[in-house]
Amino acid sequence: MEAMDNPDLIALLREAVPNAQLEEAPGIDPQPTIYASRDDIPALTRALRDRPELAFMLLVELTAVDYWPREPRFELVYLLVSIAHRRRMRLKVRLHGDDARVTTASDVWPAANWLEREVWDLFGIVFDGHPDPRRLLMPEDWEGFPLRKDYPVQVKLAPRTTEPLQVTEEEFRANVMKDRLSRDRA
């Protein structure tokens, strides 16, 4: 495995995409992790794939993490592999909850098509320019985004048989906060 640390990779990416806002992130995995700005994603993804010294042809995974209630709450994560250079890297993008959208990468890596649909389906992050922006796993008429941390899975109410379950905004917030407080802090 060729050794490559964050500054090397950042220098290469700066050369490929001048003016890109890049920031190295700490991590314990033996691979570089880089935070990028949302606006640089189209140029960066192309450079990562096409530059022969990078050649990250294989998009292994594209997923998101929700850090609600912190803002920016979403982190989009691209796990990349360069088969030619036996190298891995992780590209991350921070997204605000009220403006969770990013340019699609499905024209760079066709593999991103369904992975982005899954992220849209479960997190509600919009991918601009996506060729097929439908839900992937949930039914198409589903409301809400289940993997968001404020999705009401923990709401407990007395069972009612005559009317559908209705949760007010206050009940919903109270339930989610109760659940968060019950997590054992280290």
Partner 1 sequence: MPDIRTETMTVNMGPQHPSTHGVLRLVLELDREPVRAASPTMGYLHTGIEKTPEEKKWQQVIPLVERMDYLSAQSNSMAFCLSVERLLRLDIPQRVMDIRLLIAELQRINSHLVWLGTHGMEVGAVSVMLYCFRERELLLNLNEMLAGFRMFPSYMRVGGLREDLPRGFHDAVRAFLDRFLPKLAEYEDLLTKNEIYLKRTQGVGIISREDAVAFGLVGPIARAAGVDYDVRKYFPYLGYDTYQFDVPTETRGDVYSRYLVRVAEMKESVKICRQALERISPTGAFAVDDPRVTPPPKDRVYTEMEALIQHFLIYSQGFTVPAGEAYVPVEGPRGEHGFYVVSDGTNRPWRVKSRAPSLLACQALERMIVGGLIADVIAVIGSIDVVMGDVDR
E strand map for the chain: 22-24, 33-36, 58-66, 74-82, 87-95, 101-103, 126-128
Under the binding rule (CB under 8 A), the answer on residue 155 touching partner 1 is no
Q: Binding of partner 1 at residue 177 (CB under 8 A)? A: no
Residue written as token pair 């320019």: 129
28 touches partner 1 (CB under 8 A): yes
Round to whole Å and give the CA distance between 141 and 79: 30
Neighbours of 173 (CB within 10 A): 13
Residue 30: alpha-carbon gap to chain centroid: 21
Q: Which is nearer to partner 1, 158 or 186 (CB)?
A: 186
Segment contacting partner 1 by CB under 8 A, of 9-17, 34-42, 85-93, 160-168: 85-93
Q: Near partner 1 by CB under 8 A, which window of 6-14, 15-23, 84-92, 94-102?
A: 84-92
Cα angle at 77 between 118 and 36, to 5 degrees? Answer: 130
For residue 137, state whether it binds partner 1 (rule: CB under 8 A).
yes
Q: List contacts with partner 1 (CB under 8 A).
A: 1, 27-29, 57-61, 63, 65-66, 77, 79, 81, 83, 86, 88, 90, 109-111, 113-115, 118, 122, 135-139, 146-147, 153-154, 183-186
